[in-house]
Amino acid sequence: MRRSYLLVLLTLLLSTGLLRVTLSIGENDNNIDGVNNLVFENPSLRKAYIALQAWKAVIFSDPFNFTTNWAGAAVCSYNGVFCAPSLANSSNRVVAGIDLNHADIAGYLPPELGLFTDLGLFHVNSNRFFGTVPKTFKKLRLLHELDLSNNRFVGPFPRVVLSLPVLKFLDLRFNEFEGSIPVKLFDKDLDAVFLNNNRFKFGIPPNLGNSPVSVLVLANNSLDGLVKSGDTKLKKGLIELFTANNGGGDGAGQ
Ligand SMILES: *[C@@H]1O[C@H](CO)[C@@H](O)[C@H](O)[C@H]1NC(C)=O
Ligand SMILES: *[C@@H]1O[C@H](CO)[C@@H](O)[C@H](O)[C@H]1NC(C)=O
Ligand SMILES: *[C@@H]1O[C@H](CO)[C@@H](O)[C@H](O)[C@H]1NC(C)=O
């Protein structure tokens, strides 16, 4: 008897817990300030509004007042937000790009950014964003450029990028990412990958030669025994492979 009580209680706790998780990733958006009183051009811009307001709420410093105009339904006129006709329906404008480069903003990336399902470009280089890359980024099925460089991101390699089907440009340089780099990265159809100036550690990935990238920069990590020999070639011809300061080894392979 007591045992089944506990079970019911546990089930209740679990289901409310799950509910809270669902709420916190913005599936239920009625808790976002004012969204129900605004009129949006289309549902996609309404979702973008929710994402942008959630993001603004976790921006703790914005010295150039970059996000001051992030208010109201006209999200396409917010600083750093770029709209374009939707690929699915060209009569609808959607948020196709975010560019906050050099804004010196401090804050983090909330899970609601997964609502930007039309996003092609996400550039936040040279800010003070910290924390990790939300798992909800897996919903950015059109993202082809991700530039998180020169921020304060931490934690393991953001594996969520491996699930982005059209990603071509990945720039994680000058952060505090650590640990190993997934081997799968070098099987992805990427054009350019910048991982330099982090705390990554790894040996020579066996499949490095499979990578179709034309630029791969790995310098200034703790990369043991990495491609010093000069005989590492990438499929499409390696343009630059800097290996300076990788655990003491200097040299550029080609
Ligand atoms: C940003 O806004 C604050 C408060 O309105 C103002 O004091 C400050 O000078 C503004 N900064 C810039 C760079 O415009
Ligand atoms: C495209 O969007 C417009 C405006 O929102 C809408 O009226 C139209 O029905 C949509 N077309 C399709 C094929 O979904
Ligand atoms: C690696 O670090 C050194 C020393 O801080 C710096 O001069 C160099 O530009 C860095 N290399 C890259 C590719 O960022």
The pLDDT tens digits of the residues spanning 100-139 come to: 999 999 999 999 999 999 999 999 999 999 999 999 999 9
Are 108 and 212 in a shared domain? Answer: no
CA of 41 to the centre of ligand 2 (A): 11
Are 76 and 188 in a shared domain? Answer: no
Give the number of whichever ligand sits closest to the CA of residue 216.
3
Conformational region of residue 179, where left means phi above 0, alpha means psi within -120 to 50, and beta covers everything else: left
Ligand 2 mutation pick, 83, 89, 94, max ligand atoms within 8 A of CB: 89
- Within a domain: 3: no
Number of structural domains the chain divides into: 2
Tell me the average pLDDT across 194-222: 83
CA of 41 to the centre of ligand 3 (A): 46
pLDDT at 246 over 60: no
Q: What is the pLDDT of residue 25?
A: 46
Are 189 and 240 in a shared domain? Answer: yes
219 exposure class (CB count in 10 Å sphere: 0-12, 13-18, 19+)? buried
Q: In this structure, which amino acid lies at residue 242?
A: F
Are 126 and 232 in a shared domain? Answer: no
Tell me the average pLDDT across 71-82: 97
- Within a domain: 77: yes
Give the position, in ligand 3's atom list, of the atom nearest the Cα of 174. Answer: 14
Give the position, in ligand 2's atom list, of the atom nearest the Cα of 42. Answer: 5
CATH number at 39 reads: 3.80.10.10
Asked whether the beta carbons of 75 and 86 are under 8 A apart, the reply is: no
pLDDT at 71 over 90: yes
Range of 236's domain?
180-254
Q: What is the pLDDT of residue 211?
A: 84
Tell me the average pLDDT across 221-241: 55
Ligand 1 mutation pick, 61, 64, 65, max ligand atoms within 8 A of CB: 65
Around ligand 1, the residues with Cβ closer than 6 Å are 64-65
pLDDT confidence of 27, banded at 50, 70, 90?
very low
Give the position, in ligand 2's atom list, of the atom nearest the Cα of 90. Answer: 1
Last residue of a domain, one of 143, 169, 195: 169
CA of 202 to the centre of ligand 3 (A): 19
CA-CA-CA-CA torsion sign (45, 46, 49, 55): negative
Q: Is the pTM of this model over 0.85?
A: no
pLDDT at 209 over 70: yes
